[in-house]
Amino acid sequence: MGLGDKISNKAEDLKGQGKETAGKATGNEQLEAEGKGDQASAKVKDAVESVKDAGKKLKDGLTS
């Protein structure tokens, strides 16, 4: 995973945490749900990037 991807995913996660917290504080269930969705999206993106990295390492190991 590239550094840019890591930063982008972390930023999305932090944005989601902020939305969730603000939603809870104001009683805005929609904002809270958006925040949880942003966090879940960031986690999925991290998982996809990890699988890509593992595949690349496997490919590199087989061709070496």
What is the tens place of the pLDDT at every residue in 54-63?
A: 898 888 888 8
The pLDDT value given to residue 64: 67
**Residue found by looking up tokens 């939603």 in the block:** 23
| Residues found in the chain | 64
DSSP structural state of residue 25:
H
pTM, two decimal places: 0.80
CB 20 within 8 A of CB 39: yes
CA contacts within 13 A on the Cβ side of 6: 5
Q: What is the pLDDT of residues 23-61, one digit of tens each?
A: 999 999 999 999 999 999 999 999 998 898 889 888 888
Tell me the two tokens of residue 13. 């996660």
Phi, psi for residue 62 in degrees, rounded to 5 = -80, -25
Tokens of 64: 């070496």
